[in-house]
């Protein structure tokens, strides 16, 4: 059953059209990755899904009902971390729990559990400015996971991480997704990341943002593989190349458009 | 939006200009700034056209307190050298922080005695100290100090209680802030003392007009800093709270309020300095007690050492008050990204 249905969604800011004619269905429990050139409207799309802004045209259904605003059934991991600087890592994770009304006594333990999950035990009492960029991002991920939303909306959550941390968190996210059955919409710039994580990869066009193609990713008998074994399989390389080709033209076009915009 | 009192007033009151800050949370790039102001009104957001990153008059005032951190630790055996080094460093810090004041005192003592200045108008500081001691001994100093502190702390307190909630309210309703902005600028830039005759005219020459002028002068820095603090709250954090479906009061309590505390307190600190500045001047004009009166009356009676004793007391109170507020401000702003990094 479709968890999220996006129907002919358009979003413009003043006269500028950021998204146009987006049609997409996301199944319940699906892991969908969105890739696209910078500025194509990925974050804008995520905002719409999160209910933080309304589409200019078209509509978005969640469980069959139109999205009219934000809700705790959707957890957003923002591209800019969005940590409360006056709260510790622990306090930031608890922030989400407070919103959902988890009893005070359980919050501490739950927050620690999820900080541990993202490899941050021992950093509970640090404030964001005492954490590295990657650590901050992990706190934001722990916060979104801790309050247990049905749908996870993640905006380039691993962009600021080093390769090792990124890969281990990718595995962790896959594991969490498999064990919890959450629906995940995951935005990234990384083609490898898209192929590694996504069941389907939606490739977007640049300006205005449209869905160019949705590539189903499946590795047949290799599906059980993890890490390097999967990344080095010929199937993986094939998908990567396919998406790379789709993106390549768009990135080139986006550059061209940007140049023209500057020149104009 | 610019905030804070005007620079000259701050300098006169001995307050350092707060270091400009790029923004509250440098790593967060604000998005979706269009808000509702553009007229399409289709956002769920607060519609705040937040100018994140506009330097508000809010530094944490790094001017003091470095001495305490350099206290020598109880050295374990073998750590003796390190401890000694630390002690030396602590001494050096104390020296750096006091040398200029000590030099001033020395100059004040020497210059009149050496005949560089007229000792009638600037008696050596030792004579001033004696006069101060006498004033303290016969209870006059306590009486005047009490009169002044009651007025300035009273006015300051009223200003805080009035201006902080008002500023939060105005800051939250962006259209209101926009409409009132120019008016507030006018009031802020009207020197409070210029209005003293008006206050006297309306409220008489008694306590009411003195406390009122302190309230008036203190309200603006607090109000303006509070308004801009609310306006400058990181839009990403507001979006985060919105995404969690926080109600507006909760959003205010959990995001806007804590985010505003440092900038609000900077306003409070500026107001603290202003309260003394304005009061002393007011006391010189029509009062029968207070430190401003003491200074003025002493000059009138040609009791020059007493006059200087009064001045020194005023500046000591100013420094102590500011120090206290800086300490509280620092406590409340610990989470702020250090300016250097
Ligand atoms: N609130 C807004 N007002 C005006 N224009 C906006 C607003 N938000 C986004 N845009 C514009 O919409 C386009 C898409 O922005 P968006 O942030 O969604 O891109 P993105 O795909 O997430 O880019 P990146 O990969 O760099 O994060 C951009 O051209 C941006 O300038
Ligand atoms: Mg983005």
| Residues of B in Cβ contact (< 8 Å) with A43 | 31
Residue A159 has pLDDT above 90, yes or no: no
Of residues B6 and B254, the one with the higher pLDDT is: B254
Q: Which pLDDT score, from 0 to 100, does residue B106 have?
A: 92
Distance from C-alpha of A93 to C-alpha of B114, rounded to nearest angstrom: 68
Residues in a beta bridge with A6: A24, A60
Identity of the residue in A52, A86, A128 whose CB atom sits nearest the CB atom of B44: A52
Residue B157 has pLDDT above 90, yes or no: yes
ipTM, interface predicted TM-score of the complex: 0.83
Q: Which pLDDT score, from 0 to 100, does residue A160 have?
A: 77
| Residues of B in Cβ contact (< 8 Å) with A70 | 44, 242-245
Average pLDDT over residues A141-156: 89
pLDDT tens sequence across B130-147: 999 998 888 888 999 999
Cβ–Cβ below 8 Å for B45 and A52 = yes
Distance from C-alpha of A5 to C-alpha of A61, rounded to nearest angstrom: 5
For B39, other C-beta atoms within 10 Å of its C-beta total 8
Cβ–Cβ below 8 Å for B32 and A47 = yes
Edge-to-edge strands of the sheet including A2-13?
A16-27, A2-13, A57-62, A65-66
**CB contacts < 8 Å between A and B, how many?**
93
Among A132-146, A219-233, B149-163, B293-307, which stretch is predicted with the lowest mean pLDDT?
A: A219-233
| Residues of A in Cβ contact (< 8 Å) with B258 | 84, 86
Give the highest mean pLDDT range of A103-107, A230-234, B314-318, B337-341. B314-318
Report residue A184 as tokens.
Answer: 């995940």
Residues 6+ apart with CB under 8 A from A60: A4, A5, A6, A7, A9, A48, A49, A66, A67
Question: Does any CB of chain B come closer than 8 Å to the CB of residue A132?
Answer: no
Residues 6+ apart with CB under 8 A from A87: A94, A95, A127, A128, B335
Average pLDDT over residues B90-109: 90
Confidence of residue B158 (pLDDT cuts 50, 70, 90): very high
Q: Which pLDDT score, from 0 to 100, does residue A223 have?
A: 63
0.80 cut: is pTM over it?
A: no
Distance from C-alpha of A80 to C-alpha of B304, rounded to nearest angstrom: 62
Residue B72 has pLDDT above 50, yes or no: no
- State the DSSP string of B167-183: HHHHHHSHHHHHHHHHH
Which of B143, B26, B229, B125 has its CA nearest to residue A129? B26
Residue B60 has pLDDT above 70, yes or no: no
Q: Which pLDDT score, from 0 to 100, does residue A158 have?
A: 86
Average pLDDT over residues A166-192: 87
Distance from C-alpha of A101 to C-alpha of B58, rounded to nearest angstrom: 34
Q: Which pLDDT score, from 0 to 100, does residue B163 have?
A: 93
Q: What is the mean pLDDT of chain A?
A: 85
Question: What number of helices (H) and strands (E) belong to chain B?
Answer: 13, 0
Confidence of residue B308 (pLDDT cuts 50, 70, 90): very high
Distance from C-alpha of A221 to C-alpha of A225, rounded to nearest angstrom: 8
Confidence of residue A32 (pLDDT cuts 50, 70, 90): very high
Confidence of residue A256 (pLDDT cuts 50, 70, 90): confident
Residue B50 has pLDDT above 80, yes or no: no
Question: Does any CB of chain A come closer than 8 Å to the CB of residue B337?
Answer: yes
Residue B62 has pLDDT above 80, yes or no: no
Report residue A152 as tokens.
Answer: 């996870």
Of residues A226 and A180, the one with the higher pLDDT is: A180
Q: B34 vs chain A: nearest CA distance in angstroms?
A: 8
Identity of the residue in B27, B243, B255 whose CB atom sits nearest the CB atom of A52: B243
Q: Give the whole-number percent of chain B exceeding pLDDT 90.
A: 20
Residue B69 has pLDDT above 70, yes or no: no
């Amino acid at each position: 059953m479709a968890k999220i249905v996006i129907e002919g969604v358009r979003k413009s800011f003043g006269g500028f059209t950021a998204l146009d004619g987006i049609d997409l269905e996301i199944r319940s429990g699906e892991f969908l990755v969105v890739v696209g050139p910078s500025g194509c409207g990925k974050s804008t799309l995520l905002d719409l899904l999160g209910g933080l802004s309304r589409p200019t045209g078209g509509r978005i259904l969640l469980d069959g009902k139109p999205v009219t605003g934000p809700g705790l059934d959707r957890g957003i991991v923002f591209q800019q971390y969005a940590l409360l600087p006056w709260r510790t890592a622990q306090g930031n994770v608890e922030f989400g729990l407070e919103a959902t009304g988890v009893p005070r006594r359980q919050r501490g333990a739950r927050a620690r559990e999820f900080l541990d999950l993202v490899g941050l035990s021992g950093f509970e009492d640090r404030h964001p400015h005492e954490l590295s960029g990657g650590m901050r991002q992990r706190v934001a991920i722990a916060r979104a996971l801790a309050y247990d939303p049905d749908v996870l909306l993640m905006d380039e959550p691993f962009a600021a991480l080093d390769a090792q941390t990124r890969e281990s968190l990718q595995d962790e996210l896959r594991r969490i997704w498999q064990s919890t059955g959450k629906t995940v919409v995951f935005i990234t710039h990384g083609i490898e990341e898209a192929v590694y994580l996504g069941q389907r990869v939606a490739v977007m066009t640049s300006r205005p943002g449209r869905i160019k193609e949705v590539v189903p990713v499946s590795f047949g008998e290799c599906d059980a593989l993890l890490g390097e074994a999967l990344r080095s399989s010929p199937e993986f390389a094939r998908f990567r190349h396919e998406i790379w080709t789709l993106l390549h033209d768009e990135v080139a076009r986006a550059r061209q458009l940007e140049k023209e915009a500057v020149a104009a | 939006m610019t905030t804070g009192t005007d620079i000259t007033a701050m300098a006169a009151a001995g307050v350092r200009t707060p270091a400009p800050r790029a923004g509250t949370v440098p790593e967060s790039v604000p998005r979706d700034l269009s808000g509702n102001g553009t007229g399409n009104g289709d956002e769920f957001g607060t519609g705040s056209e937040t100018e994140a990153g506009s330097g508000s008059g809010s530094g944490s005032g790094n001017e003091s307190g470095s001495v305490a951190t350099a206290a020598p630790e109880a050295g374990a055996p073998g750590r003796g050298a390190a401890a000694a080094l630390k002690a030396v460093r602590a001494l050096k810090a104390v020296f750096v922080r006091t040398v200029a004041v000590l030099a001033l005192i020395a100059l004040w003592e020497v210059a009149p005695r050496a005949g560089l200045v007229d000792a009638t108008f600037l008696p050596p500081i030792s004579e001033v100290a004696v006069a101060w001691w006498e004033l303290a001994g016969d209870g006059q100093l306590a009486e005047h100090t009490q009169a002044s502190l009651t007025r300035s702390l009273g006015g300051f307190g009223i200003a805080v209680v009035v201006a902080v909630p008002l500023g939060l309210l105005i800051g939250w309703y962006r259209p209101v802030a926009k409409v009132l902005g120019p008016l507030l600028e006018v009031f802020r830039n009207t020197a409070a003392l210029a209005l003293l005759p008006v206050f006297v005219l309306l409220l008489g020459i008694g306590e009411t007009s003195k406390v009122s002028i302190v309230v008036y002068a203190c309200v603006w820095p607090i109000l303006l800093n509070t308004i801009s603090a609310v306006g400058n709250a990181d839009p990403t954090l507001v979006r985060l709270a919105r995404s969690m479906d926080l109600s507006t009061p909760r959003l205010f309590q959990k995001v806007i309020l804590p985010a505003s505390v440092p900038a609000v307190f900077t306003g409070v600190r500026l107001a603290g300095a202003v309260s003394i500045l304005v009061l002393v001047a007011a006391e010189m004009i029509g009062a029968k007690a207070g430190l401003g009166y003491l200074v003025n009356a002493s000059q009138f009676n040609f009791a020059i050492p007493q006059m200087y004793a009064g001045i020194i007391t005023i500046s000591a109170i100013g420094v102590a008050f500011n120090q206290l507020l800086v300490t509280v401000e620092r406590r409340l702003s610990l989470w702020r990204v250090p300016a250097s990094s």
